[in-house]
Amino acid sequence: MREFDPDLIRRMEAYGRETARALETVMERFQEQGGEKWGFSLFIFSFDGPEFTWISNAQRTDMIKALKATNCLAAPRATQREGRCEVSEPKTEEEG
């Protein structure tokens, strides 16, 4: 893997902001038609290097909650109930 490229991350963030503006426009249209307000995040990363960044229309605290929910859903045997992550224990051979 190559070294971190600060110029590349700046370009990634610029393209990310451009994309975020388009997403925000679509979501505002939905909200204007009586829908609720939606949040979004856009993860941008290099397949060839260590660069990673993200753009969001959410406040940091809301984004952290969303990331925790995402991590919960990615965990094996995890479900989300009433905003809490619940991880079930694997079944034993006797339980089938």
**Looking at the predicted structure, is the pLDDT value of residue 82 above 70?**
no
Every domain of the chain and the residues it spans: 1-57, 59-88
Give φ, ψ of 94 to 5 degrees.
Answer: -65, -30
Rounded CA separation 69/78 (Å): 10
**pLDDT in the model for residue 88:** 67
Query: What confidence score (pLDDT) does residue 73 get?
Result: 72
Structure confidence by residue, pLDDT tens digits, 53-80: 989 999 999 988 888 887 777 776 666 6
Tens of pLDDT along 24-37?
A: 999 899 899 988 88
Helix residue ranges per DSSP H, 4-85: 6-32, 60-74
